[in-house]
Amino acid sequence: MAIFIDPPRWPAHGTEFSHLISNASLTELHAFAAEAGVPERAFDEDHYDVPARRYADLVRRGAVEVSGGDLTRILVASGLRIPARRRAKRLKSALASRWESLLPGTAELGEDLVERWSEPHRAYHDLSHLLAVLEALDTLLEADDAGLRRPVLLAAWFHDAVYRGTAGEDEEASAALAGGSLRGVLDPAEVSEVERLVLLTRTHAPAAGDRAGALLCDADLAVLGGSGGDYDAYTAAVRREYAHVPDDAFTAGRAAVVRQLLALDPLFSTEGGAALWDGRARENLRAELGRLESPGAPAAG
């Protein structure tokens, strides 16, 4: 693993900026930046923007000098690059279009949800996660699921709409928000189904035969089956959401969560989800647990 920096050639705010990246780990990148005194606000999804005056010092601290083109190639190869379509402005536009297709004539509600998912304290439970869940559902939903489609997609929109980092309470508050927002817009039975599905994300353990619950839970957990770079980005984002928690406490808590996930049988309840993500997800979780349980292991992510 290494940290790379390109020459300060990007003009803004009366100076020029460099980009600071890692070729393997956002954890490593954030640790390097923190040690060097680079503020968190300088982080832009997959890199830090640093002013020209910091360039020489960051190189002295170990950042490897590369050209702008080489830096881009390194970032792409690392798997950590955030594609343009997943950056905030593109995300908001794409999500607004999806919401209008799902529930036409309720743009104000869709805008409120997008703003909730954009709250600054979110690092993982953000717009990227929302779109990822919706895209996973695009993959999992089949023709026979037509009657389930709207409540499942609405539950995806609401499932982390309230996020304060308190397991159980967040899901209950999100379900209540769904009920209050959709009551009078949809049939009461459909509103109740959306609430039920949101609450199911507390455990990610749908009952046998609960196709709607299986679809939502599998889509929410699809991140576990990502590539090594994607999984690293996921754990790093989770750690940033709990930056206020000391390393020892976070490591213990995160290890407990990973064990709970590994104990789910099945981890993915749909045939499609199991085929796409189960094998890699278990590999990722076991590897993370091994790191967390290693003596003197740093906090995950």
Structural domain range at position 41? 3-81
- The number of residues making up the chain comes to 301
Write out pLDDT tens, residues 239-265. 989 988 999 999 999 999 999 999 999
Long-range contacts of 244-250 (CB under 8 A, 24+ apart): 247/298, 247/299, 248/299, 250/299, 250/300
Same domain for 107 and 233, yes or no, is: no
Write out pLDDT tens, residues 125-148. 999 999 999 999 999 999 999 999
Same domain for 190 and 111, yes or no, is: yes
Quick one: average pLDDT of 4-11? 93
Residue 118 sits in a domain whose CATH number is 1.10.3210.10
Residue 213, exposed/middle/buried by CB under 10 A (0-12, 13-18, 19+)? Answer: buried
Residues 6+ apart with CB under 8 A from 211: 145, 148, 270
**Assigned domain for 299 exists:** no
Write out pLDDT tens, residues 176-226. 999 999 999 999 999 999 999 999 999 999 999 999 999 999 999 999 999
Q: Give the CA angle between residues 220, 178, 91 to the nearest 5°.
A: 55
**Assigned domain for 10 exists:** yes
Same domain for 236 and 189, yes or no, is: no
Residues 6+ apart with CB under 8 A from 95: 110, 114, 127, 130, 131, 134
pLDDT at residue 297 in the model:
56
Last residue of a domain, one of 24, 47, 81: 81
pLDDT above 80 for 231 = yes
Residues 6+ apart with CB under 8 A from 289: 255, 258, 259, 262
Contact (Cβ atoms closer than 8 angstroms) between residue 1 and residue 28: yes
Distance CA 86, CA 75 (A): 15
Quick one: average pLDDT of 78-91? 75
Worst-scoring range by mean pLDDT, 20-24, 152-156, 211-215?
20-24
